[in-house]
Amino acid sequence: MRSLRTRIMLNFGVIIVAIVLTLSILFLTAVRQYYFGGARQALEERAEVYSALYSKYLGNQPLVEKSRYILENMNEEEGFTTTQIVDPSGRLVVDSNGFSGDQLPLTGDLAAALKGKPHMWTGVTELGEEVIAVAYPLKEAGQTVGAIRYMTSIERLNTAVRNLTWMTTAVALTVILLSMTGSYLLAVRMIRPVQELTKAAKTMARGDFRHRAVIRHEDEIGQLAFSMNHMAEEIERNERLKNDFIASVSHELRTPLTSIQGWSETLAEGDLQDKEELTTGLTVISRESLRLSGLVEDLLDFSKLQAQSITIYRERLDLRRMMDEIGQQYAVKRSRGGVRLEIDYAEEPLWVSGDENRLRQVLINVMDNAIKFAKTEGGFIRLEGTTEHQEVILKVIDNGTGIAPGDLPYVTRKFYKGDTKRSGSGIGLALSQEIVQVHGGAMELQSLLGEGTTVTIRLPKAQ
């Protein structure tokens, strides 16, 4: 498997080589065109000028005289070129080197010029020299009487282009080498944070959630490191909550089991004729069994809600009746604890579509919490029911101990109990919120430490 660093270097390398190669080819093409194109253009211009001079201004003089006149009036910088004037048969009349009388090979440029058409030819002479030649016809009275030919060696041009090619290749290789070095350093710089994140992830995977990834920069990798650290914090906190929950549930289970076991042994070893002791023991056993059953039911319900496998049996309900029944249910508890319970609801029905048992479970959980944390003297709990727009709103208001600001955002999370030492599994409010959300509603908590708490339940109003 190729590493990310290797892939980055390969990708950068391919792009860099492609760019450098393209620019080098374009540059060398432009250089070649500049040198060879310039040479061709210069030869064409000279041949054209002297062809026109011959045809228009030299009159009816013999071809040899005209040729000498042309050669005598050439510029000195034309010394790098060879000028040849040939007759219609292809025989050399005279050239710029003073030679004459030779039969020249009938190359493409001469053949075309003697037929009256200018032409350019690139090739190798009989002496093995690579040349560029341009031939133009010489005309008198519209008839071709010969040709003027400019020819120059391109060995010097080839040498110059070859040297530039080597220089360009050296520069290109240097650029590629420097770019690949830079790519390597960049890849190392980019990969180092990823390697650190990988190491941190492996450490966390081994169960060490106290380890934190290093945040070096505020970029995408830095955000990933921040997310990993936040994930580790959440896992660590959930782990603590789970352990606290296990300890809490163990305590909650142990207390009634201890009572049941104690009274069972007492009754088994005691006098069954003692009706008062028998009644007390059976009452305790029954009460603690119900307590155990309720705790187990809460755990099962919460597990089903988390797995989204709980079944909701919806029906049209008027919550005013449920509020009255809950008020009667808590009549004994409120009288024993000295807590005043008030129930207030609107005159119009509070119609909702929901599962009666589940919604009752929500209200009972909230009421249990309100009574558990109520003041021992002067405490009150108020259960309100109203309608607002398309919602039915239930409120449970108390003047109990309240919730600390640091605990308020977390009290509806599973297993969370805060700093309270009171009995409970820590899933009552979490379960209630899940049930409300399954009904399409929302549950909100507002609280001031030492002043009380308000739990607001919003449910869609049934039409």
Provide the percentage of residues in the chain whose pLDDT is more than 90: 12
Which residue did the predictor score with more confidence, 221 or 28? 28
**What is the model's pLDDT at position 116?**
85
- The mean per-residue pLDDT over the stretch 214-220 comes to 79
**What is the model's pLDDT at position 426?**
61
**CATH code for 315-460?**
3.30.565.10
User: Given pLDDT bands bounded at 50, 70 and 90, which one contains residue 419?
Assistant: low
The residue to which tokens 């059976």 are assigned: 282
Per-residue pLDDT tens digits for 81-96: 788 888 888 888 877 7
Q: Minimum mean pLDDT among 176-180, 217-221, 321-325, 397-401: which range?
A: 217-221
**pTM for this entry:** 0.47
**CATH code for 4-159?**
3.30.450.20
* Fold for the domain defined by 220-306: Helix Hairpins (1.10.287)
Overall size of the chain counted in residues = 463
Rg over CA atoms, the chain: 52
User: Given pLDDT bands bounded at 50, 70 and 90, which one contains residue 414?
Assistant: low
Q: Identity (one letter) of the amino acid at 281? A: G
**What is the model's pLDDT at position 76?**
46
Which residue did the predictor score with more confidence, 65 or 399? 399
**What is the model's pLDDT at position 352?**
93
Expressed in angstroms, the distance from the first to the final Cα of the chain is: 62
Q: Which of 90, 82, 93 is nearest to 46 (CA)?
A: 82
Sign of dihedral through CA atoms 367, 440, 314, 320? positive
The residue to which tokens 């070893």 are assigned: 269
- The mean per-residue pLDDT over the stretch 5-20 comes to 84
Under 8 Å between Cβ of 238 and 266: no
User: Given pLDDT bands bounded at 50, 70 and 90, which one contains residue 69?
Assistant: low
Per-residue pLDDT tens digits for 290-337: 877 877 777 776 666 666 666 788 999 999 999 988 888 776 555 555
Per-residue pLDDT tens digits for 330-375: 765 555 556 788 899 988 899 999 999 889 888 988 888 888 888 7
- Which residues, at least 6 apart from 275, have a Cβ–Cβ distance to it below 8 Å? none
On the question of pLDDT at 417 being above 90, the answer is no
- The mean per-residue pLDDT over the stretch 141-146 comes to 79
d(Cα 147, Cα 136) in Å, to the nearest integer?
6
The residue to which tokens 């391109």 are assigned: 154
Burial of 99 (0-12, 13-18, 19+ CB in 10 A): exposed
User: Given pLDDT bands bounded at 50, 70 and 90, which one contains residue 100?
Assistant: confident
**What is the model's pLDDT at position 317?**
92
Domain with CATH 3.30.450.20 in the chain: 4-159
**What is the model's pLDDT at position 315?**
92
Average pLDDT, the chain: 80
**What is the model's pLDDT at position 308?**
65
On the question of pLDDT at 8 being above 60, the answer is yes
Domain with CATH 1.10.287.130 in the chain: 220-306
